[in-house]
């Protein structure tokens, strides 16, 4: 699914009206009619008393179109305008006047202005005495935190316990970030126009949107395309299409040999989880390189992956002196996974820098590998091969010098800017993991759940992404497929366990997730 920004949407509107020549009123009529169909699909309107609550902009205009059709359907509908009528201009004003003209024909309808505390007090009871609210207060024109009478009315609607239908986007939600701007409508369903916006998808906006319907309002395809939308919400078929079908005469060499460099004292499980996950995700062969004294500890943890002992530092982490052996190991590998449980020993950090300078295969760098890069992200410019980084917000904070709170408040912008600046695929983990590409494209992962918030999940993800790299998927596809299937794995487990399932359970469940993807 394509996701657009408010600027792109406003530009599409403008170009459709001014260059192509579909009048704005027609777009508003199409929007209102389409939204009405969604309303009728989601709510039983028979005998319902509907309150259309309108702002002064075009979102309100859509509300008036919806209300006009409701009146013609014989539905009891009242209008509450949170503005002076004389401030309602343009297409919205035209549709407001049409509603006013119809009032005379519909005695059960009323038109009430709520512009201050007094008028809210006077109208409050009437407003609450409805079964369904149509929220047409703010749409993509919201440009500040919601205050005053708007806030009071939104809180009254939210506290009413009645059904709520939002026009375009729940009022109070930032359409580009999903942030709640002071207060926001809690909708049961939302009808948006032309394309979904990130605010419908990104937390917490997704929890305010309810069921989302995208209404075609007649924006010509070429005008939409001209805005080059670059935010995507993949669906399972999009991911399945990324993974090549397997030929009948395939053999393990057909699916690549992955080298995993991981593990340090106390973090041996991370290495095993990563290597085992890679095998389960379809890599043809996996070799796991670990510090030599950990071999007897890790070997029993892995069956299918091969293991190789590498030089270690006095504290037991991988040593920079292992770089020659690793160079030789990489000669016949298709991809590299670097970092799970690798530790922050200075010698290991030297090794990581050395590997990045010589590796010529696509690589995924995670965990302490990221912390090494954080010392000097410019090192990414020295890497000859495609790089996928998989930071969680804390690691992203270290990579960017920002706070974790900053990262979480600007996830998409942070991920996109980093990917563009350093020419890497940046996987910003967390609820709704983002996959950002050097060309600015960002995908929002719809799979995953809080049951996955425990140690080891990242090691599994690294192995899964690396396995798709080993199978020769392009880096952005490998990252997207890995993130999506990883989340799908967790979702399938959450159906049975809610939470309490482990990273090891995830590894065991990868084949089931892949089966679901292709079913």
Ligand X SMILES: NC(=O)C1=CN([C@@H]2O[C@H](COP(=O)(O)OP(=O)(O)OC[C@H]3O[C@@H](n4cnc5c(N)ncnc54)[C@H](O)[C@@H]3O)[C@@H](O)[C@H]2O)[C@H](O)CC1
Interacting residues toward ligand X by CB under 6 A: 9, 13, 27-28, 31, 55-62, 138-146, 150, 167-168, 193-194, 217
Min. distance of Cβ 28 from ligand X in angstroms? 4
The three state secondary structure string of 29-69 is HHHHHHHHHHHHHHCCCCCCEEEEEECCCHHHHHHHHHHHH
- Which residue number, 83 or 400, has a Cβ lying nearer to ligand X? 83
> Using CB distances below 5 to 8 A depending on partner kind, what does residue 135 bind out of ligand X, K ion, none?
K ion
Q: 356-415: which residues touch K ion (CB under 5 A)? A: none
Asked if the bond preceding 204 is cis, omega within 30° of 0, the reply is yes
Indicate the angle between helix axes 411-422 and 393-400, nearest 10 degrees.
50
- Which residue number, 63 or 339, has a Cβ lying nearer to ligand X? 63
- Is 13 flagged in the annotation as binding? no
> Using CB distances below 5 to 8 A depending on partner kind, what does residue 8 bind out of K ion, ligand X, none?
none
Beta bridge partners, 310, equal 291
- Is 422 flagged in the annotation as binding? no
355/95 Cα distance (integer angstroms): 65
- Is 327 flagged in the annotation as binding? no
- Which residue number, 133 or 255, has a Cβ lying nearer to K ion? 133
Beta bridge partners, 52, equal 79, 134
The residue number whose beta carbon is nearest to ligand X equals 139
**Using CB under 5 A, which of the segments 13-21, 120-128, 171-179, 266-274 binds K ion?**
171-179
157/80 Cα distance (integer angstroms): 12
Judged by CB under 5 A, which of 171, 313, 348, 443 binds K ion?
A: 171
Residue 58 contacts K ion per CB under 5 A: no
Min. distance of Cβ 130 from K ion in angstroms? 17
Residue 81 contacts K ion per CB under 5 A: no
- Is 270 flagged in the annotation as binding? yes
Residue 62 contacts K ion per CB under 5 A: no
Pairing of strands 442-444, 231-232: parallel
Burial 214-251 (b: 16+ CB within 10 A, else e): bbebbbeeebbeebebbbbbbebeebbebbeeeeeeee
- Is 57 flagged in the annotation as binding? no
- Which residue number, 7 or 246, has a Cβ lying nearer to ligand X? 7
Pairing of strands 76-81, 111-113: parallel
- Is 308 flagged in the annotation as binding? no
- Is 60 flagged in the annotation as binding? yes
Distances, alpha carbon 197 to alpha carbons 220, 262, 316, 330, in Å: 18, 39, 49, 43
388/424 Cα distance (integer angstroms): 6
- Which residue number, 8 or 509, has a Cβ lying nearer to ligand X? 8
- Which residue number, 194 or 356, has a Cβ lying nearer to ligand X? 194
Distances, alpha carbon 12 to alpha carbons 91, 194, 199, 223, 306, in Å: 17, 9, 18, 6, 54
Contact 370, 395 (CB under 8 A): yes
- Is 59 flagged in the annotation as binding? yes
168/179 Cα distance (integer angstroms): 15
Min. distance of Cβ 491 from K ion in angstroms? 30
329/351 Cα distance (integer angstroms): 14
> Using CB distances below 5 to 8 A depending on partner kind, what does residue 27 bind out of K ion, ligand X, none?
ligand X
- Is 61 flagged in the annotation as binding? yes
- Is 347 flagged in the annotation as binding? no
Residue 135 contacts K ion per CB under 5 A: yes
> Using CB distances below 5 to 8 A depending on partner kind, what does residue 350 bind out of ligand X, K ion, none?
none
Pairing of strands 434-436, 442-444: antiparallel
Residue 166 contacts K ion per CB under 5 A: yes
Residue 167 contacts K ion per CB under 5 A: yes
Q: Which residues are annotated as a binding site for AMP?
A: 429-433, 458
Q: Which residues are annotated as a binding site for (6S)-NADPHX?
A: 58-62, 139-145, 150, 168, 270, 341, 392, 459
The site for K ion (CB under 5 A) is made up of 135, 166-167, 171
């Amino acid at each position: 699914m394509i996701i657009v920004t408010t600027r792109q949407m406003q530009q599409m509107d403008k170009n459709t009206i001014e260059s192509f020549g579909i009048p704005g009123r027609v777009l508003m009529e199409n929007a209102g009619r389409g939204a009405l169909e969604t309303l009728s699909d989601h709510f039983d309107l028979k005998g319902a008393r509907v309150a259309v609550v309108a702002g002064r902009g075009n979102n309100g205009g859509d509300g008036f179109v919806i209300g006009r059709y409701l009146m013609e359907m014989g539905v009891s509908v009242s209008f509450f305008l949170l503005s002076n009528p004389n401030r309602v201009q343009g297409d919205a004003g035209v549709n407001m006047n049409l509603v006013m003209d119809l009032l005379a024909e519909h005695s059960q309808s009323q038109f009430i202005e709520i512009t201050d505390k007094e008028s809210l007090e006077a109208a409050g009871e009437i407003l609450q005495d409805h079964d369904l609210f149509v929220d047409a207060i703010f749409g993509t024109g919201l440009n500040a935190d919601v205050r005053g009478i708007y806030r009071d009315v939104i809180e009254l609607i939210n506290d009413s316990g009645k059904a709520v239908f939002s026009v375009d986007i729940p009022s109070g939600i930032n359409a580009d970030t999903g942030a709640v701007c002071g207060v926001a409508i809690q909708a049961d369903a939302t009808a948006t126009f032309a394309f979904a916006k990130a605010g419908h998808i990104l937390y917490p906006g997704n929890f305010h949107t309810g069921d989302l319907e995208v209404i075609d309002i007649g924006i010509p395809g070429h005008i939409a395309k001209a805005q080059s939308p670059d935010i995507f919400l993949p669906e399972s078929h999009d991911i399945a299409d990324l993974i090549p079908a397997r030929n009948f005469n395939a053999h393990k060499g057909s699916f690549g040999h992955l080298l995993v460099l991981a593990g340090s004292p106390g973090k041996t499980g991370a290495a095993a989880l990563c290597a085992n996950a890679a095998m389960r995700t379809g890599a043809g062969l996996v070799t796991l390189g670990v510090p030599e004294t950990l071999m007897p500890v890790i070997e029993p943890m892995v069956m299918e992956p091969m293991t190789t002992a590498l030089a270690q530092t006095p504290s037991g982490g991988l040593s920079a002196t292992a770089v020659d052996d690793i160079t030789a190991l990489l000669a016949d590998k298709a991809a590299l996974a670097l970092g799970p449980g690798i530790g922050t020993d200075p010698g290991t950090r030297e090794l990581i820098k050395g590997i990045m300078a010589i590796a010529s295969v696509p690589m995924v760098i995670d965990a302490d590998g990221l912390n090494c890069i954080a010392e000097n992200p410019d090192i990414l410019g020295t890497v000859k091969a495609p790089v996928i980084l998989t930071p969680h917000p804390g690691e992203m904070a270290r990579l960017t010098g920002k706070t974790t709170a900053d990262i979480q408040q600007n996830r998409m912008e942070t991920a996109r800017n980093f990917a563009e600046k350093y020419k890497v695929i940046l996987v910003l983990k967390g609820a709704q993991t983002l996959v950002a590409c050097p060309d600015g494209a960002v995908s929002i992962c719809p799979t995953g759940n809080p049951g996955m918030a425990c140690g080891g999940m990242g090691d599994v993800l690294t192995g899964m992404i690396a396995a798709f790299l080993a199978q020769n998927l392009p880096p952005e596809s490998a990252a997207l497929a890995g993130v999506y299937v990883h989340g799908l794995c967790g979702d399938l487990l959450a159906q049975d366990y809610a939470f309490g399932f482990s990273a090891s359970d995830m590894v065991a469940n990868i084949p089931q997730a892949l089966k679901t993807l292709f079913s």
